[in-house]
């Protein structure tokens, strides 16, 4: 079903913006409810959330103001190959919302590689905004 959705829906700039914003709102609300605080706790929570929901296997590397997050078997792109589109836009927003709320800082999360484009995993880069 997921594959059919992406074959039928062209990811327009408006669609991407709304999808990421929906993830952002969800991430903020989840973080408020769970009272997750701090960068390390937020990353751990995101990883545990993916494990619990079986939406992908996440790992991360973090530096002071930036990070790399990788997700194998993302629910949004697993099984889809060789598209021109990165499909994990909702996850960008979800992770960004969790990080923003948990740290009281502004983070930007961007998917740089997607398994739907032939990569073996989805890769996201995050940076803390001034």
Q: How far apart are CA 87 and CA 121, in angstroms?
A: 12
Q: Could you tell me the residue ranges of all domains in the chain?
A: 15-128
The answer to whether the CB of 77 falls within 8 A of the CB of 120 is: no
Domain 15-128: assigned CATH number = 3.30.1380.20
Can you read off the two tokens belonging to residue 91? 């996850």
Give 48's contacts (C-beta < 8 A, 6+ positions apart): none
Taking the whole predicted model, whether its pTM rises above 0.75 is answered as yes
The answer to whether the CB of 90 falls within 8 A of the CB of 22 is: yes
pLDDT digits (tens, 9 = 90+) for 58-112: 999 999 899 999 999 999 888 888 888 889 999 999 999 999 999 999 999 999 9
Q: How far apart are CA 52 and CA 118, in angstroms?
A: 26
């Amino acid at each position: 079903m997921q594959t059919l959705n992406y074959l039928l829906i062209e990811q327009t700039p408006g669609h991407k913006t709304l999808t990421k914003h929906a993830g952002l709102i969800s991430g903020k609300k989840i973080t408020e409810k769970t009272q997750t605080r701090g960068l390390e706790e937020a990353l751990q929570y995101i990883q545990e959330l993916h494990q619990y929901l079986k939406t992908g296997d996440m790992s991360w590397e973090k530096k002071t103001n930036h990070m790399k997050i990788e997700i194998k078997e993302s629910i949004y792109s697993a099984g889809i190959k060789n598209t021109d589109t990165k499909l994990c836009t909702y996850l960008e927003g979800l992770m960004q919302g969790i990080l923003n709320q948990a740290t009281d800082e502004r983070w930007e999360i961007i998917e740089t590689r997607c398994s739907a484009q032939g990569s073996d995993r989805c890769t996201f880069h995050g940076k803390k905004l001034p």
